[in-house]
Structures are given as structure tokens and as C-alpha cells.
Amino acid sequence: MNIIVAGCGRLGAQLTQILDADGYHVTVIDKDKNAFKRLKTFKGEFIEGIAFDKATLIRAGIENADAIASVTNGDNTNIVTALIAKKKFKVPTIVARIYDPIRAEIYRKMGINTVSPTLWGANKIKDLICHPDLFRVSSFGNGEVEIIETEASIFLDGRHVRDISIPSEVNVVSIVRNGIAVIPTPSTTFKKGDKIFIASTAFGKSKIKQMFMS
């Protein structure tokens, strides 16, 4: 799998090294050749140039790329790079980092996968303040539904999955016990220390902690 990473800042460098370590062929682009010093162990290719410049992208192998991640520090650069990759070169998988949540949503609707650190960070800080015992694993749509990880306390020991299920709001999707994950039924019982993964709406989330402590 051939992957291009546009931007070798802290995020780009980390992403590049993770992909490289997993065995993917990675080409990283940055306008500042000193940025490549962030890569300690890297077997791929370096391309010095502007991410959205077509000649630079061709040098990076975009015509045969399976995916491109544009993660520079500039929203405009990431958007233009993503649009060129999509419309001009038909790259199958495109991801762009966009700080502005509104713009991120606009381009997501255009078929470009977007990541908004601003929105993610704001929601994460809110979670840590309002729900410190609930860890968000992932979210869907615009965050209307989340997968939350928590641990079964003594209050849940011996209780059934159905006791904390709320139709259309809270649903236990998996329990991990002694390192083994299962998909529970309504009659499955909790044991203290279980890792519990719950699909929850924003409304259901506020009820989870109350149920766990009742």
C-alpha cells in the first residue's frame, strides 16, 4: 500500500513513523527539509516541496497512491491538497486535518475524510470535566453516538446488562473479562473489574454514571 503524508510536523512525523513501522510504503512531503529531522527511523521517501503543488505530488507518486493524508498546519493547504488528490488524481482514500469544525463538516459531506483537532479536543476536555470516569473510544456522525469504555464497579457486580440498557440511548456492545471480549446478551451479568464498552447518545451518556453508581 502506497501512502503519502503531506506535512512533517509533530502529527505528520508521528503518523509517518507509525505507518512505516507497520510496513506500508510511505512518502512524506514538507516544504521545510529540516522537518524531516523529526523522523528518527524511516525507510520511506522524503519530498521537499509544497503539498498542493501538482509537480510535487507527482514526484511523491500520487498517480499510484492508495491514500494521502494532508496534515500540515494550514487548513487551506490541507483542503486544496485533498481536493487535488480527489478530483485530479482520483486517490481512493483521502484524509485532511482541518482545525475549523465547520469547514471540516463541509468537506466531509464532499466525500473527504476530515479530522478536526479543535472539535475533538473540545469534546475530550468536556468529557474529562463532566464524565471523568467515562473514556470515549470513538464517535459516529457528528458525535451524536459514541462508544464509551468504562469499568464495572462494585455497584454493577452481579447486575444484568438489561439493567443499564435504555432503548435508543444506551446499549452495551461488549464486555472484556480476563482479556477475553464477548458480545453480551440482556441476561449477561457484570463482574467487578469488567471493561465495558457502551454505545451511547449524548443524552444517554449523562445517565450512565448515575446508573453505575446507583
Over residues 57-101, the pLDDT tens digits come to: 999 999 999 999 999 999 999 999 999 999 999 999 999 999 998
Relative orientation angle of helices 101-109 and 117-130, to the nearest 10 degrees = 120
Is the pTM of the predicted complex or chain greater than 0.85?
no
Query: Which residue reads 439493567 in cell numbers?
Result: 163
Over residues 109-166, the pLDDT tens digits come to: 888 888 888 877 777 777 667 666 666 677 777 667 888 888 888 888 999 999 888 8
The count of C-alpha atoms lying within 13 angstroms of the C-alpha of 106, restricted to the half-sphere facing its C-beta, is 9
d(CA 182, CA 204): 22
Ordered by where they begin, the domains of the chain are 2-119 (3.40.50.720), 131-212 (3.30.70.1450)
Over residues 167-202, the pLDDT tens digits come to: 888 999 999 999 999 999 999 999 999 999 999 887
Element (DSSP H or E) covering residue 79: helix 75-87
Element (DSSP H or E) covering residue 6: strand 2-6
- How many whole angstroms from its chain centre is CA 133? 20
CB 156 within 8 A of CB 193: no
Query: For the chain, how long is the longest CA-to-CA vector?
Result: 63
Query: Which residue reads 501512502 in cell numbers?
Result: 3
Per-residue confidence (pLDDT) for residue 59, from 0 to 100: 96
